[in-house]
Structure 1
Amino acid sequence: MERSEIIISGDTAGSEWRVPVFRFKGSDTAAPSVYIQAALHANELPGTALLHFLLERLRKADAEGAIRGDITVVPQANSIGLSQYHFGEMGGRFDLASRTNFNRDFPLVALAERETLLENLDRRSAADQLKRTLLHMALGADLMLDLHCDDESLQYAYIDEAFWPEAADLAGELDMEAVFLSDGESTAFEEAVGHAFKHQGGAKLKSVPGRLAVTVELRGRRDVYPEMARRDADGLWAFLAGRGVVSDPAHKAKAYAGPAVPLDNIEMVKAPAPGTVLFHRDIGATVKTGDLLATLITRPGEPDGTIEVKAGHDGLIATRASARYARRGEDLMKLACHEATRKDRKPGTLED
């Protein structure tokens, strides 16, 4: 194993950021290579916990000669976001300097243009240096996994249709309860990697066998427990074994049996007015059109001071907000539905 650090120069004199990187050299040049990172949103830590335990297992496998493909692991990818601690809370989702999401605005380049990402890097902002360096590393691998989490959530993933259903093995090994089939039309990290994979030659490829770019949502932000992280690490190890990245004679594939729905089928349940949130249904529940999901106390103490929020479609509650006060228009839930929930959704991500 080789440990190194990405050094990001700060935007003010005397400041810099360091991001640890762990690399394992594979014994078989024909085996797939993989890049895995966690905590690009710095306050999303289930992936960091998972990779802590996976690295423990990979070090043992390395000593035993069981690493077949090259593996790069970045367990805490965003040192800039980690430092954004204000008033007792970490603000790791948005860069305070640029006011942009750390998981947006990645350059969309063809795979052959990979080296251009590092041009004039010293003239770019710290956040842009980080984004370009991470993307450059990821594009050197065949398989890319970006580990995130939601607020309160089931285990699920965003997977570009170009990698589905081949990626069902990942969903099965990680016991995912849903897969959201994305359209690949945003500038998020996963979709920037997918964009490069799909633009290897002249025309855009509709499918890319042997490649993968995926955002894994490891339940909710508070789901950081030792046994849970170890179990997820075992699932990721099983995926690597199934793809031939590591050698494990005891591996037995686990099939995926959950739903795989396009983003057009995701109902974003929003707060129609500001108020205190009283949830009536939890994540994992199956609901019918018209079922009561939440009550908003908009005018406490008034006879008509509440508003009911109901399901617009049949579906599975995949996520739920952890905050119990919502501003007007804020997301309360995501429902994975059996049919399209709207016809005017713009291509790209579901949330900012």
Structure 2
Amino acid sequence: MQKSEIAIAGDTSGVEFRLPVVKFPGADASAPKTYMQAALHAEELPGVAALHFLIPMLEAAEKRGDILGSITIVPKANPVGASQYVNGANEGRFDLGSRTNFNRDYPLLSGDERDSLLDGVEELLAAEQLKHHLLHMASGADLMLDLHCDDESQLYAYLHEVWWPEATDLAESIGLEAVLLSDGKSSAFEDAVTHAWQHGPLGNRKAWHEGRISLTMEFRGLADVDPVLGRMDAEGLYAFLQRRGVLKGEPIRKESFEGVVAGLDYVQMVDAPVTGMVLFEREYGEVVEKGDHLATIVTTPGDAAGDVKVTAPAEGTIVTRITRRFVRRTDNLMKIASRELSQAKRKKGGGLED
């Protein structure tokens, strides 16, 4: 195992951030190269817990000679966001300087332009330096897993539709409960890596996507950080690497996948029609019918006349639910994966949310 740090100059004199990188060299140059990172949104820690337990497993595999493909891990991918506190609360999703999501606005370059990401990188603002370094490492891999989590949610993943159903091996390894298929047209990290591959040299491949995968894992909700889940998720990641020929051995885990699969245009975004206290009637993971009562928003406590009922716009499975119980008008309450085309418009940058 090799440990290193990437220095990122802060935007003010005397400030510097350190980005830790862990590498496991592979014994077989033809085996897939893997890149994994967690906490790109700095307060999202379930993926960090998974990597915390995975790294010792990989150390043991290295001693046994079981690592075939090189593996690069960035266990905490956003020291800039981790340092941002406002009134005692961490703001790790958006860069406070630009208000840009740390998982948006990545350079969309071809694979041939990969090395240009580091040209003059030290002259950029800290958040942009971070993005360039992360994308440079990830776009040189064959398997890219960006580990996130939602507010409250099922265990699910976002990936380009070209990799389904081939990615069933991921679903069976991790124990996914839902898969959301994208068109690759956003500026999120996952899609920036896909773009580099799609517009790069094929090498020995017949198609740009052959033997590759770039995805965003949503390891349940913000509070789902504990040793039991961390170890289980680490085993799932390990099993996936075994299935893809990065690690030797029979996969140590396999779950049957019976979850929902839906394109992003079929994800119903259930938003709050008014401001108030939300009382949820349904849990994430439940299947609902069109018109089902999902939540009540209380606008005037003690006066039921001010209650606003929120109903399901279509049949489907509730994949996510907001953590907060005080919501503003237009805040997203739930995401429902359905078979009916959603009327929700994609946000700037092509994502479901900012």
* Superposition TM-score tier, normalisation by shorter sequence: over 0.9
**Inter-partner Cα distance in structure 2 for 1:7 and 1:344:** 38
Aligned to 2:232: 231
**Deviations, residues 54-113 of structure 1 (Å, cap 9, x unaligned):** 001001111111110000000000001111122221111011111110111110001111
Alignment partners' CA distance in 2, 1:307 and 1:214: 37
What pairs with 1:128-277 in structure 2 (closer than 5 Å)?
Answer: 128-201=128-201, 208-249=209-250, 251=252, 253-277=254-278
Counterpart mapping for 1:317-336 below 5 A = 317-336=318-337
* Residue in structure 1 matched with residue 10 of structure 2 by the alignment: 10
Could you say what secondary structure the match of 1:281 adopts? coil
Q: Structure 2: which amino acid aligns with 1:276?
A: M
TM-score (norm 1): 0.96
Measure, in 2, the Cα distance between the counterparts of 1:49 and 1:183.
29
SS at match of 1:304: helix
Contact kept in structure 2, 1:162 and 1:207, CA below 8 Å: no
Letter in 2 for 1:183: D
Q: 1:46 to 1:193 in 2, by over 3 A?
A: same
Shift of 1:342: 2.2
CA distance in 2, matches of 1:273, 1:299: 11
Q: Distance in 2 between matches of 1:304 and 1:252?
A: 52
**Higher mean Cα deviation, 235-244 or 341-350?**
341-350
Q: CA deviation at 1:207?
A: 6.1
Show the counterpart of 2:64. Answer: 64
CA drift of 1:19 comes to 1.0
* Residues 73-152 of structure 1 aligned to structure 2 (within 5 Å): 73-152=73-152
The whole-number CA distance in structure 2 between the counterparts of 1:250 and 1:136 is 30
Which amino acid in the other structure matches residue 332 of structure 1? L
Cα distance change of structure 1 residues 88 and 110 upon mapping to structure 2, 3 Å threshold: same
- Mapped partners of 2:345, 2:103: distance in 1: 24
SS of 1:43 mapped into structure 2? coil
Q: Give the SS at the match of 2:305.
A: coil
Correspondence for 2:351: 349
* Compared CA separation, residues 228 and 343, structure 1 to 2 (3 A): closer
Quote the sequence identity (%).
Answer: 52
Report deviation, 1:253: 5.0
Distance 1:108 1:233 in 2: 30
Shift of 1:249: 3.6
Matching of residue 44 in structure 1 with residue 35 in structure 2: no
**What's the CA shift for 1:152?**
0.3
Check conservation: 2:296, 2:310, Cα contact below 8 A.
Answer: yes
Distance 1:198 1:10, change over 3 A: same
Name 1:308's counterpart in structure 2: 309
Change (3 A) 1:206 1:294: farther
Partner Cα distance (1:201, 1:241) in 2? 26
Q: Is the 8 A contact 2:235 2:252 kept in 1?
A: no
TM-score (norm: length of structure 2): 0.95
Q: Is the 8 A contact 1:162 1:206 kept in 2?
A: no
The CA RMSD measured in Å over matched residues stands at 1.6
Amino acid of the residue matched to residue 19 of structure 2? Answer: V
Q: Which amino acid aligns with 1:229?
A: G
1:305, CA displacement in angstroms? 1.0
For the 8 Å contact 1:7–1:19, the answer to whether it is kept is yes
1:257 & 1:33 partners in 2: Cα distance? 29
AA aligned to 2:54 is L
Long gaps (5+) in structure 1: none
Contact 1:169–1:254 (8 Å) recurs in 2: no
Aligned 8 A contact 1:315 1:338 in 2: yes
CA contact (8 A) 1:169 1:255 kept: no
2:240 touches 2:251 (CA, 8 Å); kept in 1?
no
| Contact persistence 2:239–2:251 (CA under 8 A) | no
Alignment: residue pair count: 350
Counterparts of residues 18-29 of structure 1 (less than 5 Å): 18-29=18-29
Distance 1:262 1:206, change over 3 A: farther
When structure 1 is superposed on structure 2, of 140-149 and 242-251 the one drifting more is 242-251
For structure 2, the 5+ residue unaligned runs are: none
Question: Aligned residue for 2:298?
Answer: 297
Q: Which moved more, 1:19-28 or 1:255-264?
A: 255-264
- Residue by residue over 1:246-283, the C-alpha shift from the partner in whole angstroms, topping out at 9 and shown as x without a partner, is 11246465453322110111000000000100000011
